[in-house]
């Protein structure tokens, strides 16, 4: 009989393939209590269950980084539901930051708060602040349209527009009214090259984007996002709808974009987080539990709960 | 743990029953049967309606049938036959020969029942016959004329009191009785038909110093009196009216002729005219020669009658004119020639007639023939059918209006046909040749209908040229029914066009607004409110359109038309001014509050229109727009200006965006928001000024070139018109188009909307660039369904379109649609006749139109759905 233990929200589509680099070996997936030396006892979840405020365990090594996005005391309510509790974090410039955590912990909500996509939903209340390169995101005088032009976003499911590949890539230029054909063609090529799709589609730019495969479509979406030269790129589980090969290509692409773009990425896939990101933030029930460099989070987390999660003990 | 034993927690309810219960099976079967029966019945019903419509319509196109000849024993005429006619039941026929002898024949046996004479003399000088009244004018050699009336008297004698002759009569048996023919009908009654001949006192034609005998005579009897025309042996031509006067003392009636001489035709005496015809109501006289020459006299004023025109009735010199007849109503002359052709001539009133009475004879119909001379022409007394007999014994039956050949036949011995007679009910055709009379049973169902007559322009009697006309009924019996369906189809399309022009943009924009701008909760409320609009009965809308909107629009036409300009301008200007508003305020007002601000522009626009409209009417249209539309005053330029303004505005907007767009983008990159808004306002005003200049220039050029918008798109104003219908029917179709297109827009995957918004596009850009193209086929199908609704809509057009079946695109004129026509005319149509069946054809056309439109919409929708799944 199955032991009736505490069961937090179980994520169905969590992938746990064989680890590649920087991950504990299979034998380490069930570490014995003696081996594990967390700095604090596993009391965080109980405190959260009692609705006590949680102070994010932010690793000191992140403090000095130049932040592209600063989140301070950010709160978000969906009607009566408190979805995000006092989130404070600084997203470093030119690096890949991964948001991990079980389903429903608020990763996507946080991501979508950055470009105010949550505005589209009724009954959302906001507290705290976010700043993009020093400019407030949630001040009264902010024009959402202008804000979104500075932020690129790639969604869970590839969502190319039902138009040609070319038109898809230069969509942001079109809506800005750019009509210079040279500029458009140049931007299209550069973006597709950056997204590693140029060689595959250069002869059929006028074909419908819907004819591409799922992985190609997702890279097209990334090309579309970076064509707008965003200050930060938001990736919302970009590989969850893709097969492993396409996933690998996207991960390689993220690797290549690193440095040039600041990327904030939501993922359910521990291996993906560990492979591609520089920093990792672990969230649980609307709280940011621990935030630090990826290697530290996966190998020497400060909190027991983080270790349990990244090693697959729960979640 | 024993795995074969289910854990106790799963066994709480005991073992699940494996067998489906009987009641479930029964319910399943009943439901399946009921559902398939319901579906099948629905399809069957729709098909049955279609089949029923087709069933009624198909006989329209059936051919007439002519039974084989049945020779009649007696009554072979030894002299030329002048006239003949049967009674309504085709039991008796009288035949008038040139000698004045009238023989009455039984049509069942052919036996001669009796022989009479219309003339005391052995050989009357001339005979003239009026088919409508069955009166013969008999001219004698002393110059006097008598009128002989040949009428069939029908009586139903009491069989009991009339002796053995009738009481032993078996059903459908006939016997001579009291100078006529008695027949026992199926219901037991006996019907007796008898020819009655009455001859009037003689009267003189003219004051008659020279008592020359008439050579040709014709008369025309109307309710008002009779007109007689005569050509005398000495070449004198006279025409005049007959007046019946009663002597106060004796009570005796005398006929008096009052008329005058017509100028003699300038033709050599050696060639005598072969026919004299009174046309129409006796106000025109036609004299015809064998070589095809003809002269028409205008005899409206008897004392000053003159030759109106001379005619060439034949095409070439080697053809001779053989027979002249007149179709029902005596307004169309049928001219048969030696090459077998028959031409139908009637008066028309062309623009430049060049005649004293402004009329001109024209050959409206031509039945070519095959080279064998026409030897007899016999019109029907009740319709526009006529029979043509030929020298080789063949004869044909035609219908004049539709030029359709109904039937053909041949005399048994192949000798030339010299007389034909069509019974009043057109159920019998009698043919006389050297071999005597032969009878044919005739069944000609719907001679008026043919594909050409229904769908192509037809040259109707007294029309200038072939035209599409729908005019199914009139007060007169000799009226030519005009079953041209095109005006109705045109009306339907016109109603559809104008209502879509009004309804589609509004409905689509409303759908975009509610799917892309409104918060979901507001959207649901708005959508259900608009859907309630669809339940408004169309009779209420029609009533509103006809009795409220139409008078309102007529009373303030200038203001209404001005609002078409002022409201869009107010909205566009409002949008520019809105940009000038402080940004904080703009961002705080979202959703419905913003809508409220936008709607402020609407009453402002209307207010401006109500002030500006009458002012423009005074300044540019001479104070009366209706008068201007009616071309009573004013030039074309102001009309062109207003018509071209929207086009010019669109052109100017594009031109400015094209020429200055790149420059503006470069320059304005670092401008503040307020500065951009100011610039935008400035640009808007500049565009407006440019548009006005363009429009004024084009208007000046067009009116200088002599073109006028009046006469095509604009014309005389009628109170019930396409503008009113378009407005109200637009409202009727908005809910359905709105609902369907809102569904189509909402079913565009949310991820596309988010991708576009996430890329920094405004909701309007998102809608225009991503949502609308993706939902395009859904929107198309919504419009098509709206179109289907507009095509079939009845009450609104019935009450507000004026129901005039005319074909012009004028916004300010009425029209009649297929559906309204059916609603108006079907209650008064005689079941089974051509009119009735033509209305069913209209219904079938309507059915086909809506069916095609809706099926097309559904197919597009299916395609759209498949595409939507791919996204």
The residue among B78 and B767 whose pLDDT is bigger is B767
Q: Per-residue DSSP letters for B664-722?
A: HHHHGGG--HHHHHHHHHHHHHHHHHHHHHHHHHHHHHHHHTT--SBTTTB-S--SS-H
Burial class (CB in 10 A: 0-12, 13-18, 19+), B249: exposed
A23: in domain: no
**Closest-CA residue of chain B to A114:** B758
B625: in domain: no
| A173, A190 Cβ separation under 8 angstroms | no
Contact B752 A171 (CB under 8 A): no
Considering only CB atoms, B521 lies closest to which of A120, A122, A177, namely: A122
Highest-confidence range of B259-263, B581-585, B830-834, by mean pLDDT? Answer: B830-834
Q: What is the DSSP letter of A236?
A: E
B157: in domain: yes
pLDDT at B270: 65
pLDDT at A9: 37
- Report the number of distinct structural domains present in chain A: 1
Domain that residue B752 falls in: 486-560+708-870
A297: in domain: yes
pLDDT band (50, 70, 90) for residue A26? very low
Can you tell me whether residue B72 is helix, strand or coil? Answer: coil
Same domain membership, residue B822 and residue B763: yes
Considering only CB atoms, A175 lies closest to which of B520, B583, B765, namely: B765
pLDDT at A21: 40
Cβ contacts of A149 on chain B, cutoff 8 Å:
759-760
What is the interface size between A and B, counted as CB pairs within 8 Å?
91
| B735, B530 Cβ separation under 8 angstroms | yes
Nearest Cα to Cα of residue B456 among B470, B468, B472 = B468
Contact A159 B749 (CB under 8 A): yes
B661: in domain: no
Contact A175 B867 (CB under 8 A): no
Q: Report phi then psi at B657, rounded to 5.
A: -65, -35
Considering only CB atoms, A122 lies closest to which of B520, B587, B757, namely: B520
A33: in domain: no
| B628, B634 Cβ separation under 8 angstroms | yes
Name the least confident of A193-202, B250-259, B475-484, B561-570. Answer: B250-259
| B625, B558 Cβ separation under 8 angstroms | yes
pLDDT digits (tens, 9 = 90+) for B643-680: 899 999 999 998 888 887 777 777 777 787 788 888 88
Contact A162 B521 (CB under 8 A): no
Contact A148 B754 (CB under 8 A): no
Same domain membership, residue B341 and residue B236: yes
Q: What percent of chain B has pLDDT over 90?
A: 17
Name the least confident of A26-30, B64-68, B374-378, B787-791. Answer: A26-30
| Alpha-carbon span B128 to B96, nearest angstrom | 11
Q: State the Cα angle at B132 between B126 and B136, rounded to 5°.
A: 25
| Alpha-carbon span B589 to B591, nearest angstrom | 7
| B96, B136 Cβ separation under 8 angstroms | yes
Q: Is A196 left (phi over 0), alpha (psi -120 to 50) or beta?
A: left
pLDDT digits (tens, 9 = 90+) for B190-238: 888 988 888 888 888 766 555 678 888 888 888 778 888 888 887 788 8
pLDDT band (50, 70, 90) for residue A315? low
Same domain membership, residue B270 and residue B197: yes
CATH number at residue B503: 1.10.3720.10
Q: What's the whole-number mean pLDDT along residues B446-455? A: 85
A127: in domain: yes
Same domain membership, residue B548 and residue B399: no
B7 pLDDT more than 60 = no
Where would I find the H helices in B106-233? 164-167
**Closest-CA residue of chain A to B770:** A161
Domain that residue A300 falls in: 53-309
Considering only CB atoms, A155 lies closest to which of B662, B665, B754, namely: B754
Contact A161 B765 (CB under 8 A): no
Nearest Cα to Cα of residue B346 among B316, B366, B371 = B366
Same domain membership, residue B261 and residue B214: yes
Q: What's the whole-number mean pLDDT along residues B71-77? A: 78
CATH number at residue B200: 2.130.10.10
Does any CB of chain A come closer than 8 Å to the CB of residue B774? yes
Same domain membership, residue B157 and residue B294: yes
Instruction: Provide the 10 A C-beta neighbour count for residue A257.
Output: 21
A121 pLDDT more than 80 = no
Considering only CB atoms, A161 lies closest to which of B588, B665, B752, namely: B752
For chain A, the first-to-last Cα distance in angstroms comes to 20
Contact A172 B773 (CB under 8 A): no
* Alpha-carbon distance values, B222 to B226, B229, B231, B241, B672 (Å): 6, 14, 21, 11, 90
A295 pLDDT more than 50 = yes
Considering only CB atoms, B519 lies closest to which of A117, A122, A147, namely: A122
| Alpha-carbon span B432 to B68, nearest angstrom | 15
Contact B759 A221 (CB under 8 A): no
Nearest Cα to Cα of residue B230 among B221, B239, B222, B242 = B239
- Report the number of distinct structural domains present in chain B: 2
pLDDT digits (tens, 9 = 90+) for B133-190: 888 888 888 778 888 888 898 988 877 666 667 777 777 788 888 778 888 888 878 8
Same domain membership, residue B444 and residue B501: no
Q: What's the whole-number mean pLDDT along residues A53-59? A: 81
* SS3 of chain A: helix, strand, coil, percent, to 5: 35, 25, 40
pLDDT digits (tens, 9 = 90+) for A265-291: 998 888 888 888 999 999 988 888 889
B700 pLDDT more than 60 = yes
Does any CB of chain A come closer than 8 Å to the CB of residue B8? no
pLDDT digits (tens, 9 = 90+) for B451-467: 888 888 888 888 888 88
Q: What's the whole-number mean pLDDT along residues B729-750? A: 90
Name the least confident of B124-128, B263-267, B285-289, B848-852. Answer: B263-267
Same domain membership, residue B508 and residue B417: no
pLDDT band (50, 70, 90) for residue A6? very low
Closest chain B C-alpha to A305 CA, distance in angstroms: 33
Chain A residues with CB within 8 Å of chain B CB: 1, 115, 117, 120, 122, 140-143, 145-153, 155, 157, 159, 161-163, 171-172, 174-175, 177-180, 210, 221, 224-225, 228
pLDDT band (50, 70, 90) for residue A30? very low
A117: in domain: yes
Q: What's the whole-number mean pLDDT along residues A245-250? A: 85
CATH number at residue A148: 3.40.50.300
pLDDT digits (tens, 9 = 90+) for B40-57: 999 999 899 999 999 999
Mean pLDDT, chain B, whole residue set: 85
Same domain membership, residue B347 and residue B439: yes
Cβ contacts of A146 on chain B, cutoff 8 Å:
760
Same domain membership, residue B268 and residue B121: yes
Same domain membership, residue B510 and residue B444: no
pLDDT digits (tens, 9 = 90+) for A10-22: 333 333 343 334 4
Same domain membership, residue B536 and residue B409: no
B594: in domain: no
Contact B583 A117 (CB under 8 A): no
Contact A171 B587 (CB under 8 A): no
């Amino acid at each position: 009989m199955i032991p009736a233990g505490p069961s937090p929200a179980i994520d169905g589509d969590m992938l746990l393939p064989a680890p590649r680099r920087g991950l504990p070996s299979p034998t380490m997936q069930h570490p014995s209590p003696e081996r594990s030396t967390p700095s604090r006892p596993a009391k965080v979840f109980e405190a959260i269950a009692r609705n006590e405020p949680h102070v994010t365990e932010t690793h000191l090594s992140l403090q000095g980084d130049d932040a592209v996005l600063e989140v301070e005391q950010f709160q978000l309510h969906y009607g009566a539901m408190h979805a995000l509790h006092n989130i404070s974090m600084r997203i470093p410039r030119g690096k890949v930051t991964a948001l991990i955590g079980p389903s429903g912990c608020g990763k996507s909500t946080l991501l979508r708060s950055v470009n105010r996509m949550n505005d589209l939903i009724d009954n959302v209340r906001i507290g705290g602040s976010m700043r993009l390169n020093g400019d407030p995101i949630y001040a009264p005088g902010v024009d959402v349209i202008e804000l979104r032009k500075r932020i690129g976003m790639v969604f869970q499911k590839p969502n190319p527009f039902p138009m040609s590949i070319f038109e898809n890539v230069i969509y942001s230029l079109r809506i800005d009214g750019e009509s210079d054909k040279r500029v458009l063609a140049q931007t299209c090529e550069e973006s597709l090259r950056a997204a590693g799709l140029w060689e595959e589609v250069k002869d059929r730019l006028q074909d419908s984007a819907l004819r591409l495969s799922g992985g190609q479509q997702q890279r097209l979406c990334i090309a579309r996002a970076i064509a707008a030269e965003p200050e930060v790129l938001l990736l919302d589980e970009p590989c969850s709808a893709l097969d492993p090969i396409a996933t690998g290509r996207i991960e390689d692409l993220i690797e290549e974009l690193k440095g040039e773009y600041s990327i904030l990425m939501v993922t359910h896939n521990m291996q993906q987080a560990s492979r591609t990101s520089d920093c990792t933030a672990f969230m649980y029930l609307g709280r940011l539990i621990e935030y630090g460099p990826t290697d530290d989070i996966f190998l020497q987390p400060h909190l027991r709960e983080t270790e349990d999660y990244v090693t697959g003990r729960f979640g | 743990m024993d795995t074969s034993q289910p854990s106790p927690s799963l066994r709480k309810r005991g073992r699940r029953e494996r067998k489906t219960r009987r009641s479930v099976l029964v319910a399943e079967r009943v439901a399946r049967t009921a559902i398939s029966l319901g579906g099948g019945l629905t399809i069957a019903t729709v098909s049955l309606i279609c089949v029923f419509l087709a069933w009624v319509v198909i006989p329209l196109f059936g051919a007439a049938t002519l039974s084989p000849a049945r020779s009649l024993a007696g009554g072979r005429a030894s002299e030329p036959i002048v006239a003949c006619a049967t009674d309504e039941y085709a039991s008796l026929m009288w035949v008038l020969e040139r000698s004045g002898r009238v023989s009455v024949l039984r049509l069942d046996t052919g036996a001669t029942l009796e022989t009479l004479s219309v003339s005391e003399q052995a050989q009357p000088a001339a005979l003239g016959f009026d088919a409508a009244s069955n009166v013969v004018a008999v001219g004698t050699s002393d110059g006097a004329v008598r009128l002989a009336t040949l009428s069939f008297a029908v009586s139903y004698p009491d069989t009991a009191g009339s002796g053995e002759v009738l009481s032993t009569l078996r059903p459908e048996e006939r016997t001579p009785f009291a100078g006529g023919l008695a027949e026992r009908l199926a219901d037991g009654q006996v019907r007796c038909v008898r020819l009655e001949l009455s001859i009037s006192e003689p009267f003189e034609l003219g004051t008659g110093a020279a008592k020359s005998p008439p050579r040709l005579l014709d008369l025309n009897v109307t309710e008002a009196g009779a007109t007689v025309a005569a050509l005398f042996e000495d070449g004198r031509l006279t025409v005049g009216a007959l007046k019946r006067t009663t002597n106060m003392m004796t009570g005796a009636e005398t006929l008096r002729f009052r008329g005058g001489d017509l100028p003699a035709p300038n033709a050599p005496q050696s060639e005598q005219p072969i026919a004299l015809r009174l046309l129409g109501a006796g106000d025109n006289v036609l004299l015809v020669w064998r070589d095809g020459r003809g002269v028409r006299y205008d005899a409206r004023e008897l004392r000053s009658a003159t030759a109106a025109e001379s005619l060439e009735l034949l095409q070439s010199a080697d053809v001779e004119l053989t027979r002249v007849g007149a179709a029902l109503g005596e307004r169309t002359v049928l001219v048969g020639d030696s090459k077998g052709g028959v031409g139908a001539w009637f008066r028309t009133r062309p623009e430049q007639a060049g005649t004293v009475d402004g009329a001109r004879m024209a050959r409206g119909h031509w039945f070519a023939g095959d080279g064998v001379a026409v030897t007899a022409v016999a019109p029907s007394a009740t319709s526009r059918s006529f029979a043509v007999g030929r020298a080789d014994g063949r004869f044909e039956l035609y219908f004049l209006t539709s030029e359709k050949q109904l039937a053909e036949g041949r005399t048994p011995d192949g000798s030339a046909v010299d007389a034909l007679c069509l019974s009043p009910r057109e159920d019998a055709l009698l043919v006389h040749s050297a071999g005597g009379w032969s009878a044919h049973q005739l069944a000609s169902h719907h001679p008026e209908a043919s594909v050409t007559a229904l769908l192509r322009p037809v040259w109707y009697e007294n029309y200038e040229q072939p035209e599409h006309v729908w005019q199914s009924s009139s007060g007169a019996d000799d009226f030519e029914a005009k079953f041209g369906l095109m005006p109705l189809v045109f009306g339907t399309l016109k109603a559809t066009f104008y209502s879509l022009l009004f309804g589609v943009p509004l409905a689509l924009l409303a759908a975009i607004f509610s799917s892309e701008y409104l918060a979901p909760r507001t959207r649901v409320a708005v959508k259900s409110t608009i859907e309630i609009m669809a339940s408004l009965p169309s009779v209420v809308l029609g009533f509103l359109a006809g009795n409220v909107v139409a008078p309102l629009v007529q009373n303030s036409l200038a203001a209404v038309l001005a609002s078409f300009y002022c409201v869009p301008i107010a909205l566009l200007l409002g949008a520019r001014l809105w940009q000038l508003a402080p940004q904080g305020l703009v961002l705080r007002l979202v959703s419905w509050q913003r809508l409220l601000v936008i709607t402020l522009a609407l009453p402002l626009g209307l207010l401006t229109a109500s002030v500006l409209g009458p002012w423009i009417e005074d300044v540019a249209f001479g104070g009366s727009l209706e008068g201007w539309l009616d071309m009573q005053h004013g030039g074309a330029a102001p009309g062109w200006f207003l018509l071209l303004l929207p086009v010019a505005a669109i052109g100017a907007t594009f031109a400015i965006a094209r020429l200055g767009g790149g420059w503006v983008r470069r320059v304005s990159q670092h401008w503040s928001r307020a500065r951009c808004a100011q610039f935008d306002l400035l640009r808007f005003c500049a565009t407006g000024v440019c548009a006005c200049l363009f429009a004024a220039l084009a208007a000046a050029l067009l009116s200088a070139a002599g073109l006028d918008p009046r006469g095509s798109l604009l014309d005389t104003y009628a109170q019930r018109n396409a503008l009113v219908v378009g407005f109200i029917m637009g409202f009727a179709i908005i809910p359905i188009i709105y609902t369907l297109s809102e569904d189509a827009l909402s079913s565009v995957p949310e991820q596309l909307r988010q991708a576009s918004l996430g890329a920094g596009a405004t909701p309007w850009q998102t809608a225009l660039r991503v949502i609308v193209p993706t939902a395009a086929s859904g929107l198309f199908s919504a419009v098509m369904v709206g179109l289907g609704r507009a095509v079939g809509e009845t009450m609104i057009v019935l009450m507000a379109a004026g129901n005039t079946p005319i074909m012009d695109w004028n916004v300010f004129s009425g029209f009649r649609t297929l559906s309204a026509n059916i609603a108006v005319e079907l209650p008064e149509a005689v079941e089974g006749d051509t009119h009735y069946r033509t209305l069913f054809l209209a219904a079938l056309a309507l059915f086909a139109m809506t069916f095609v439109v809706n099926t097309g919409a559904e197919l597009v929708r299916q395609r759209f759905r498949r595409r939507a799944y791919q996204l």
